[in-house]
Amino acid sequence: MSDHDSPKENASEKNSAELEAAADDLLAKAAAAADGEEGQTEAEDTRTEEEKIADAMAALAAENAELKDRVLRGAAELENLRRRSEREKADAAKFGASKFAQSVLSVADNLRRAIDAVPDDRKDGSDDVVKSIVEGIEMVERSLLTAFEQNGIVPVNPAPGEKFNANLHEALFEVPGTGQPAGAIVQVVDIGYMIGDRLLRAARVGVAKAGEEGNPGAKVDTTA
């Protein structure tokens, strides 16, 4: 080849260089695009992993809250059971003598009737036999009432003139012409008894009758 190339050869070499440069530029752009896509994929993968961790932590927190709620409910149920058991135990101790007491109330009634049946002059008179019998009956009555008291059983023994209370008293009859207000208690037939705040038996009483002269007022209400 001569020192002086032809114009065609120079043009060809120039075109080849331009094509090679264009090809290099395209390759560079393709490589950059590939790097960008790879970086985006890695970022997406990173976000996905973070989301998975966040979801797992949220699920664990929810499960922990549910378990805590179950524990608290179980503790509350156990506490309620303990309190109910203690209350039932206290009630059993408090009212355990109720049935037995009800069965012996008639014994206390009969002892009192036996004492009241003896005239006062015979109780304190010269008849030592009668006096001894009365004293023996009174001793038994006191012992029985002491046993009642030790078991929380107290008498309901209204005084004459006390207002009738249907929650504590049972009116057996009305007494006219007493001069007492209508419904006032004028006679106690049988003493009543309570255990704690529970009524074992109402006191059986007679009350002043309404509508009599010197005894004004409506008919006594004997309902609770």
Give per-residue pLDDT as tens, 60-91. Answer: 888 888 888 888 888 888 888 888 888 777 77
Cβ atoms of residues 200 and 108 within 8 Å: no
Q: pTM of the prediction? A: 0.53
- What order of strands is seen across the sheet that includes strand 198-201? 153-156, 192-195, 198-201
pLDDT band at 165 (very low <50, low <70, confident <90, very high): very high
At 10 the pLDDT is 55
Of 218, 207, 221, residue with least CA distance to 178: 207
> Could you tell me what percentage of the chain is helix, strand and coil, using 3-state DSSP and rounding each to the nearest 5?
60, 15, 25
Whole-Å CA distances, 131 to 115, 128, 148, 155, 215: 10, 5, 26, 26, 40
CATH number of 154-224: 2.30.22.10
% of residues, the chain, pLDDT over 70 = 69
Q: How far does CA 85 lie from the centroid of its chain? A: 11
What is the average per-residue pLDDT within 118-137?
Answer: 80
| Residues counted in the chain | 224
